[in-house]
Structure 1
Amino acid sequence: MYRSTLLIQFAVILAISFVSGVVCFQLFPLDKAMELIKYIDPRVLELTDITIWNTIIPLVAWIVLVLFFATHPYLHVLARFVVAVKATFFGFSSVFLLTQQESLLVYSAWWFPFQFVYCILLFLLCSVYATKKVGQKRKYFFSQRLFVTLIVAITLICVGENLVITYVIPS
């Protein structure tokens, strides 16, 4: 029961954050939107000359930020907020890509599927440090199996993303 409620909560946060990103894009002038995108993930603006580090560094930054908050006993709620910010940027950049000429392939083959999966995996990463009620006290534990599984999944998705950027999307 608890896990299904948690998944519903993650899905609602993801949907609301994505729509919020769409709304935010409508409120920004295009030059300011491009400036914000350049700071967070410049690959959205220009897909040519992308190195593997251009994919890994932003992803690792999001993972470290989520793990920092998820493993803190008092700030764990902020981990979901960080993922909600990532999902908001996902929606924001999605509208940018869809409004650009000739970017439907970029959006449908690269941006949407990979960013969607990253957001889901980051939400699951929020659950690696959980509590269990033992008697009258709560005991915190770090789920190593879930952590390793998520890191392997994120690595495989990152490799797939680099393959799509390199071989599917024309430069």
Structure 2
Amino acid sequence: MFRSVLFIQYAIILAISFVSGVICFQVFPLDKSMKLISFIDPRVLDITDISIWGTIVPLIAWMVLVLFFATHPYLHVLAKLVVGVKITFFGFSSVFLLTQQESLLVYSIWWFPFQLIYCFLLFMLCSVYAAKKVGPNKKYVFSQRLFVTVLITLSVICVGEIVSISYILPKL
């Protein structure tokens, strides 16, 4: 029961944050949008010149930020907020890609699937440090198994994204 409620909560956060990103793109002027995108993830602006580090560094930055808040006993609620901000940027950049790029294939092969999977995995990172009820007290437990599983999955998806950027997109 608890897992289904958590899944529904994450799905609602995903939907609201993505739509918020779309709305924010409509409100911002294009030059300000490009400045924001270049600050957070410059790959969106120039998909022809993407390095391996340009793919890995933004992912690690989001992971570290989520883990910082998720493992803090008092600020763990902010981890979901950080993922919500990531999803808002995902929606913001999605609209930018769809309005600025000529190819829908770039969006559908590279940006959308990988960013969506990253967002789900970042939500899973929010759950690595959870409170367990032990008698009348709460005890915080770090789930190493979940942490290692999420890290391995993130690594595999990151390699898939690098292969997609390096080998599939140039042939389109």
Q: TM-score range by the shorter chain?
A: over 0.9
Report the more deviating stretch, 44-53 or 105-114.
Answer: 44-53
Distance 2:161 2:119 in 1: 14
Distance 2:152 2:159 in 1: 11
What letter corresponds to residue 83 of structure 1 in structure 2?
Answer: V
Partner of 1:4: 4
Partner of 2:55: 55
Offset of residue 106 of structure 1 = 1.1
**Unaligned 5+ residue runs, structure 1?**
none
Percent identical: 73
Offset of residue 132 of structure 1 = 0.7
Distance 1:49 1:111 in 2: 15
Offset of residue 103 of structure 1 = 3.0
List structure 1 segments (4+ residues) > 6 angstroms apart after TM superposition: none
Offset of residue 101 of structure 1 = 3.6
Q: Deviation per CA, 1:16-47: give whole Å up to 9, x if none.
A: 00000000000011111011000000000001
Matched residues, number: 171
Q: Deviation per CA, 1:55-110: give whole Å up to 9, x if none.
A: 00000000000000000000000000000000000000000000024131110000
Q: Is 1:70 the counterpart of 2:70 in the alignment?
A: yes
Partner of 1:138: 138
1:1-171 equivalent positions in 2, closer than 5 A? 1-170=1-170
1:169 aligned counterpart, secondary structure = helix
- Structure 2 length-normalised TM: 0.98
**Unaligned 5+ residue runs, structure 2?**
none
2:148 aligned counterpart, secondary structure = helix
- Structure 1 length-normalised TM: 0.98
What letter corresponds to residue 140 of structure 1 in structure 2?
Answer: Y
Please tell me the root mean square deviation across aligned C-alpha atoms, in Å: 0.9
